[in-house]
Structure 1
Amino acid sequence: MISTVIFDMNGVITDDEDLHELATQKAFEKVGLEITPEIYRQYCLGRTDAAAFVDLVRDFQLQKQEVGSLIADKTNSYQALIADNLKVYPGVIELIERLHQKYTLALTTSSTFEEVQTVVGQLQLENLFKVIVSSKDVKRGKPDPEPYILTAQKLGVACENCAVIEDSENGVRSAVAAGMKCIAIPNTEKRGKLTRAHFIIDEYSELTDHLIQSLG
């Protein structure tokens, strides 16, 4: 039986993948690398900045650049961008508030701790998530199952009693590998990339209690 619902943040709650991409472009522009949409999707979508930036520095021969400095630049740019531009997907806040009445909720994201704090504070969601896991809490980000396994451990629940809402292929792979049920919504990926999920929805109004319990 599903007792816990875990949300991803970027691409599930916040419609801000474009801002993450722009902030990443700004950070790497300073060191002479153009982050094209194709490069961003290949390296960054659904992954932690730490993992993505390490691969970018290696593959584009930027060895003289410090990953920590690039992440700090990106985070600063992102926080400046969302100050006046933070958007959420239609119906998602209402969904969180509705599910909170019946389920334990958690947030598991590849974003940095600073980014999460800014978003959660701006949307006033602090009291709705019992546990928040960000990139600083894990050694291996999505698609590795560590983020979701750690979330379950912090909550004290079994992975099989958790349902995850994800939007990216890497996120779906992470949740499924952790032994959780996964509901995907193609906000940032095409449906064909999300076929590992147990169920795919197109709108948050489809995510009913009946659907969640049918996964258990």
Structure 2
Amino acid sequence: MINTIFFDLDGVIVDSEPIHAKAKRIILDSHSIQYPDSIFDDFIGQPDEVFFKHIYENLDKQKNPYQSLLQEKNEQFFELIPEMKLVEGFTAFINEVRNRNIKTALVSSTSTYTFGLIDKHFYLADLFDLLITEKDTERHKPFPDPYIKALQTLPASVDNTIVIEDSPNGIKSAKEAGCKVFALTTSFRTEKLMEATEIFNSYDEIAEKVLF
């Protein structure tokens, strides 16, 4: 019996990964920083601070302070938020989950600042019994700490909890916390998500498994 569902944010609730990547690309290009095209996928599920520290340490020959690049990215992201959409099927799914008194938590490595921007646009916070963001753990995905924190705080049992994720980093985090993971193919192809407990192409498919 599933009585708790943990949701990642990017790629699970909001289709934000293309927006994050676009904002990062604009900032890197504006500073003439060379990067491989795969770099944005490589850091899906990890905080932006980790991304820009990597840029500073490995790719930025000018050694711009990573904090300043992060601030520029946040400003660019804010400008792009109107382009963002909710993941198809999320609203109907979360409403049905709440109607059935299933406990919910948002478990993300995004910053409180970024979540605040998204929440102002989509009013998400009230949909969850618990919010876990970057500030709540010292280590972030792919480490298990965010999901362990959610399990302990809510509290919830791994036996009655599923996690909905969309990235290899998120799947690794949830699995190492002992959770069953349902992967959505919103951000990666199926072959990249094989470590998940099960893989789904839509919320309709998850609903058939969990709610009916």
TM-score normalised per structure 2: 0.90
Indicate whether 1:93 and 2:96 are aligned: no
Residue identity over aligned pairs, in percent, reads 30
CA contact (8 A) 2:47 2:109 kept: yes
1:56 is matched with 55
Tell me how many residue pairs correspond in the alignment.
211
Indicate whether 1:41 and 2:33 are aligned: no
2:184 is matched with 185
- CA spacing shift, 1:213–1:85, aligned 2, 3 Å: closer
d(CA) in 1 for partners of 2:15 and 2:144?
Answer: 24
- CA spacing shift, 1:63–1:113, aligned 2, 3 Å: farther
CA contact (8 A) 1:144 1:174 kept: yes
d(CA) in 1 for partners of 2:71 and 2:137?
Answer: 18
d(CA) in 2 for partners of 1:27 and 1:137?
Answer: 27
1:38-70 per-residue CA deviation (whole Å, 9 max, x = no partner) reads 22222x222111222222221225583322222
- CA spacing shift, 1:62–1:145, aligned 2, 3 Å: farther
d(CA) in 1 for partners of 2:123 and 2:193?
Answer: 30
d(CA) in 1 for partners of 2:153 and 2:66?
Answer: 28
Which amino acid is the alignment partner of residue 15 of structure 1?
A: D
- CA spacing shift, 1:11–1:58, aligned 2, 3 Å: same
1:23 is matched with 23
d(CA) in 1 for partners of 2:156 and 2:61?
Answer: 42
2:141 is matched with 142
**1:1-216 superposed matches below 5 A:** 1-42=1-42, 44-62=43-61, 64-82=63-81, 84-102=82-100, 103-208=102-207, 211-212=209-210
Which 5+ residue runs of structure 1 have no aligned equivalent? none
Which amino acid is the alignment partner of residue 119 of structure 2?
A: V
1:102-138 per-residue CA deviation (whole Å, 9 max, x = no partner) reads 2111111122211112222322222111111112222
- CA spacing shift, 1:158–1:37, aligned 2, 3 Å: same
Which amino acid is the alignment partner of residue 47 of structure 2?
A: T
d(CA) in 1 for partners of 2:117 and 2:34?
Answer: 27
